[in-house]
Chains A and B, each alone.
Chain A
Amino acid sequence: MNKSFFKKIIFLSITLLLVGAFPFNTIAAEDTAVCNLTNKVAELNNLKNNNEIDYIEKRDAELELGKEVLLETINCAVQEAIDLKTELIKTSIKDRGLADLKTRLSADIDQAINYYRINQGGIRDLDSLGLKKLAQKILDWRTSNYNYIAGKVANLISWTNNQELFNVAENRFAQITKITDNLESSTDKAKFTLREAENSLSEAKQINEQARTDLISFNAPEVSLDLIQKSLEKLSNVYNGFSALSEELNKILPE
């Protein structure tokens, strides 16, 4: 191996390092971007409350500061959307229907980011009324669109994470059932409690499935959220039964 070969290797390594590092640095910069709305808003409030400045001067200063606040607010909204997408991407989803939903929501977040960026474009040229109207437009858009996307994402992540709780509950139910069935001295009370726990588990799973179906639909996130909550409450009832069974059977079992 000659000298030029080593030179090529070193050059290639450095090139790969630079090429590889570039997008990561970009992502890192986005991820760590800190929104600083508090200071700017405080500054605007102080200016608004300052009556010692000339009216025209104050109006112009308020307009300029208002533009800065709106620009920064949109930056923060973009960051918020990036954070949302990051959490969505991190969630591992095996279910095909929900995986499609994940893809759809990811695209929705991208569109939201585009929406913010487009509206950020002309802020410097706005007058007072234009600034107010744009702020109102973005506020309305967030209420009607972004909250829907974020709600869907939150539900999807929540539902996905809940499945582990369901698996654990099912395993425990199977184990307790085995013990109860094999124990000749199982009391009627224990058997009754087990049946109740079984019914609650069955209902919890059924509602959990309804929540899954609703997630895929275009329904408002509140509907899925309600189902998710109900399925968890039923699952909690199952554990009330497990606790009672644990107490009952531990009395019977030999030390």
Chain B
Amino acid sequence: MELFELLKKLNNIKPDPEYVEKSKRVIFSAPQLMPESNTWGRVMIGIRIGAVTSLAAIAIIFVSGLFGGKPSSVSALDPVAIRAEAQAIDIQIELTKFGYDNPTTTLKMIVGQITSGKSDSPSKVGENQTDESTSTGEVSINQALELLTEENE
């Protein structure tokens, strides 16, 4: 009976309100050690998100491949892409047709074509064939030399 009374008293024991308030403040002001709070944690989260996104993308591609319309590999039959590639070859053929009356011009055309990505039409390209143009501008090196061989007769 004495023990029972003692337990009842224990049940009524309450912490000091000031202590409770102080403890709460200490707990809430403590730093939250979440994984993203440091660089490694952020990297790990990034990896996890990346992995999940990739898996989702793979799954979508797989599913659309199974149940979608034409399979993705059919893009290999895209007539526009095929035509573009064929045109690139035709342009290259036209460039080599300049011959070697003036290989430097041919070289400039080949290099210009590749670096600028321009697709000069054959007729436009051909216009330069008769004009033995070089890095000199309108009068070519050979034309100037020819003039000098005639000049002093």
Q: Does any Cβ of B come within 8 Å of A186's Cβ?
A: no
Give A98-148 interface residues, CB cut-off 8 Å to B.
128-129, 131-132, 135-136, 138-139, 142, 147
Interface of B is mostly: helix
> Which residues on B sit within 8 Å (CB–CB) of A245?
77
Is the Cβ of A44 less than 8 Å from the Cβ of B151? yes
Is the Cβ of A87 less than 8 Å from the Cβ of B111? yes
A150 to B104, CA, bound (A): 6
Set B93, B106, B141: member contacting A154, Cβ < 8 A? B106
Is the Cβ of A132 less than 8 Å from the Cβ of B107? no
The residue in chain B whose Cβ has the minimal distance to the Cβ of A232 is B93
A221 to B106, CA, bound (A): 12
Contact flags B65-99 to A (C-beta < 8 A → 1, else 0)? 00001100110111100110110111011011101
A132 to B149, CA, bound (A): 5
Which 10 pairs show the lowest CB-CB distances between chains A and B?
Answer: A175-B76, A135-B148, A239-B86, A154-B107, A35-B136, A128-B152, A150-B103, A132-B152, A151-B103, A139-B145
Is the Cβ of A165 less than 8 Å from the Cβ of B89? yes
Q: Does any Cβ of A come within 8 Å of B134's Cβ?
A: yes
Is the Cβ of B100 less than 8 Å from the Cβ of A129? no
From residue B4, how far is it (CB to closest CB) to chain A in Å? 80
Give B122-153 interface residues, CB cut-off 8 Å to A.
134-149, 151-153
Residues of A near any B CB (own CB < 8 A): 34-38, 40-41, 44-45, 48, 62-63, 66, 69-70, 72-73, 76-77, 79-80, 83-84, 87, 128-129, 131-132, 135-136, 138-139, 142, 147, 150-151, 153-154, 157-158, 161-162, 165, 168-169, 172, 175-176, 178-179, 221-222, 225, 228-229, 232-233, 235-236, 239-240, 242-243, 245-247, 249-250, 253-255
The residue in chain A whose Cβ has the minimal distance to the Cβ of B104 is A150
Size bracket of the B interface:
35 or more
Residues of B near any A CB (own CB < 8 A): 69-70, 73-74, 76-79, 82-83, 85-86, 88-90, 92-93, 95-97, 99-100, 102-104, 106-108, 110-111, 114, 134-149, 151-153
Is the Cβ of A84 less than 8 Å from the Cβ of B107? yes
Q: List 13 A-B contacts (CB under 8 A).
A: A37-B138, A38-B136, A41-B144, A73-B144, A80-B135, A83-B104, A135-B145, A151-B103, A161-B110, A165-B92, A178-B73, A229-B96, A232-B93
A179 to B84, CA, bound (A): 20
From residue A253, how far is it (CB to closest CB) to chain B in Å? 6
Is the Cβ of B137 less than 8 Å from the Cβ of A35? yes
Is the Cβ of B70 less than 8 Å from the Cβ of A253? yes
Is the Cβ of A44 less than 8 Å from the Cβ of B79? no
From residue B111, how far is it (CB to closest CB) to chain A in Å? 5
Set A48, A66, A87, A253: member contacting B107, Cβ < 8 A? A87
From residue A29, how far is it (CB to closest CB) to chain B in Å? 15
Is the Cβ of B83 less than 8 Å from the Cβ of A243? yes
> Which residues on B sit within 8 Å (CB–CB) of A242?
82, 86
> Which residues on B sit within 8 Å (CB–CB) of A165?
85, 88-89, 92
Is the Cβ of A37 less than 8 Å from the Cβ of B96? no
